[in-house]
Structure 1
Amino acid sequence: MHVIPLSNLLVSGAFFLVMLVWAVIARTGWIALRTGRAQGPISRLHPLLGIATCIAYFTAALSTLAPDALDPDNSILGTYMVMANDLAGFAAVALFRHMAHYFEPGAPILRRRWLLLNYGSATIVSLIAMAGSTQPYDQSLGSRLYGGITYGYMALMFFLSIQGLRKNETSSWKTPFGATERPLRVVSSAAVVLLITVSGVVLTQSSDAKIFTAAWTMALFGALVAAPFAIRNLGAVLRDTLVALCFVGTGIAGAFLVYWETSFLPENERFWMQIFLGSVYGLLIAGAGLQACWALFDRIIFRRAHNKQGVLREALHALSPALGTQQCSVRALAALTHAFQLEGAGLIWRDGGAQTFGKFRIEKLEEIWPRGEAADALAKRTLAGGELTHLPEELRGPRNQAHVVGVVCVRGSRRLWGHILMRTDLVGSSFGSEELSAIEGFADQLGLLLDGADMLGRTLEVERSLAHAEKLSAIGELTARVAHEIRNPATAARSLAQQLVEEPDSPYQQEHTLIVESLDRIENQVALLLRYAKRDDPTLVSVDLAALTRRTAEELRPSLRSAGIELIVQSPAALSTKADAEKLRLVMVNLIENARDALADSEGTKEIRVAVSSALNKVSIEVTDTGPGVPAQDLDNLFESFFTTKETGTGLGLAISKRTIEAHGGEIRASQVPGSGLSFQIDLPMNSEEIYA
């Protein structure tokens, strides 16, 4: 019985291990290409390089395992094995050189002359190598020349590949963590050149020790070249390699078991029993054993739930549109993080803002992430692993720093809601096609759920608006009746008080004057209530807004001056808009009087500034004071009916002003001025005659 030396077993095992890694690399590349997740020249060359390298190391492993049976000097099968090894090896070198050209972003498609030179030289060197393999190996000049040409060619091709990598400082072919891969690529490629050179020198010598040293060197060489490819899908490569090793190991153990169980049988029965038991063991290993091994290593390496689709489905069923878009998105991110054991996940909304769950700092990405239509065109499919290089250049650096390993579109039936970003470590950055399909299905269902939550929110908002409108309508009718009942006796009382004031000999002149002033205030409040209750549409005519502002300011200037307040007006000579002049004047009067009341108890500079300006197709009025302002939490409530910050206010002035401006097709808003008081800005449409003048 022939005994295989231990050194041959170890070298053959190393070759088989490298072969398995390259087989997994070829498989992942082929799956990505078949499913359409990978595009471009690199993705098309990726599986071809893996297959060629896998064949080269497979033939090398067999030749090392059975050196006598596959000796090219004594066996035609050995000659064919060496020829296949040479052909696959040089094809892999040419493919790697071809891929190196496309590492640079935006690299042009290579011309036929370059391709002919690249693959033609590989073919010529392969023919030289195959011709040399048919001759007996000795220490002659021819044998040395054969070794020098073949290994010199390999060293030259990898040197040219490294030169291409060094010129490319911004390579887009990166790991999910970007900067990790390029130093590894350059260092491993430089080591490859050294190893090939050493191997070429060693293999031109004949001693067995030197030959096995070269074999170990070539095994290390294959592992180093595989490193840049494996690190892009490190978790998947580890899992698949371990599964393959278990499968091979179990197969070998099964073969020994079958041999042992049938060793006692007669010679004529042993063969058929070995066939039968081998088939049974093979079916068991290929069926239940392979699946169990796959699930075990998937759980150990990725720590992910076995039934990920079920976990995500249950999480979606637990969500309700009544929670609102914000709560639905946060809970969905939590479910995704749990199912795939992510460090964190975030959702950047299409129209701005973000939600996060777990360990994820998304601020920098949120600042530069495209919005609106730019977000629609950003990524229309799921990007994971090496596919993240399809993101715009300005997003790659922050994406690498945040350790984002996947970007998923969340799209509803009518709109894009945003993008889910997933963060995890290097091992967990690999996603299989089934996992990506599960994530995409989850994102699609989330988009529909957000559609429902948004629609429900809009419906509730409309219901609240209708209820509020009905309430205001009822208040308006009641106000009109009360105002009418108050106005008539108040008018009669004021008329009598005015007559008493006009009597020269009245001993109560001062008291009568106070009564008239109080009744005037009642009249003003009643008029304000009637204005609020009366909802008539404005009559829009062409108005010189600049002139109207100056006239209104001059009417109020005396009373402001007596209160120690300076009124500053900044306006152009003329500025036209379509407006109801009287209603617009009342709005400006209300804003200026509110500013006056705010400055009444203020210390320091008392100043009201009114500025009129135009921009694009709108005109603006801005009223700013130097008063104390209002608390930040009250800014959103200033225009609500009956809300007031003044002790004697009714809370109707700004509500009427808002309604008036909106009836003009404009907008009014309030803001706190840093270090000063409040600022009210009114935007109105510019007169169309001026726009096209």
Structure 2
Amino acid sequence: MMILIVGASAFAAMTGIALYLAKRLGDAESRLRAEGSARAQAERALSDQEQRLQTIFESQLECVKLHDANGTILTMNRAGIARLGARCAAQVVGTSVYSFISPEHHERYRCLSAAVFEGRSESMEFRILCAMGQRRLFETHVVPMRDSGGTIVAALALTCDITDRRNAEERAQRHLSDLARVARITSMGEMASGLAHELNQPLAAIVNHASACLRRLRAAPDKIESVVESLEAINEQGQRAGQIIRTVRELVSRTEPTKTLVDINEIVRMMVLLSTPEAARQDVTIAMQLAPDTGSIYASKIELEQVVFNLIRNAVEAVGNPGAAAHASISVSTMRTQHGGIEVAVQDCGCGIDAEDIDKVFDPFFTTKFDGIGMGLSISRSIIEAHGGRISVSPNAGKGVTFVFTVPPPMEERMAV
């Protein structure tokens, strides 16, 4: 009887254990199903995220690529493959970026790539040799791509084809140069009588001094020293006439603007010399206040000459207009700015500009002159802005206005500041 009781107790205990284990097993299965469901959801979310990233990657209209530290292309979107003129990804992926970049840009791109794998973002322009033999100009912006641990595993580059944009900019610059040349020729034509008079003076002086030399030589052939003074005057007047002719020729030439180191004070002196005949005809005096420490700036000499000439001529016309002061004067000054650039100011004492018009004076075709075409100041603004400077106008405390333009210093001086 005792054996049966013990057996029933053991059976009950075993049944309890079995139920407990079954419950534990059921709980474990529930957890596994939950974990499996969570994992499936995570995998689906990851897949969705990868799909979205892939869609964004492929939808870009410009070239997007990944490459390693050696320049081997890891992946590239369809737009980039098409930009290179390739037919499929197999022609690009696994090759080197240097097989497409023009050789003269290889060293710069290696430096860029090294900087990116050091953790910096970099940009540069370079030419690409496309599959069809075309050379296109590209601009690339490259950033480091890191893994979850922060290690840089690739360089991510967004590269845009800027060939058409750069060609359009060059066409616009050529168009501006043509407009500027037409404006210069028009100005020279309008000032032809004054220039002829200005040239006639040194030429007449040359003739007079040469005649004096001949008379002295005939009267006293052995007194050579008596003609030296006249010969020196001939030389001086000849140089004066030659300088005027060279300045006019330079202004109306078709020479493409090129940037070199130029002396702004010398430009002002030459443009004042060229403007003096017209100023004298209108009984206007031009005063110069040139700072001795302006130094040289990196600029297009012919273009800055045109800006200074336009401003001086406008000032002369402003003070020479009816209603302006008799025996008026204008002032042209230069100074060095605190950032190392150059400031040029042309101040007049004319009738000024109406308040509602002062914001329009640099607009194309806007003019307050009866016979003006309204392009001089517009061209001047384009030139100054192309040099990285700015031009403005403001009313004087008394009469007239002051035009001021600034040109930044050479790049090495800007880097030093």
What is the TM-score when the length of structure 1 is the normalising length? 0.23
Normalized per residue, the structure richer in helix is 1
What is the TM-score when the length of structure 2 is the normalising length? 0.37
Q: Which has the larger radius of gyration?
A: 1
Normalized per residue, the structure richer in strand is 2
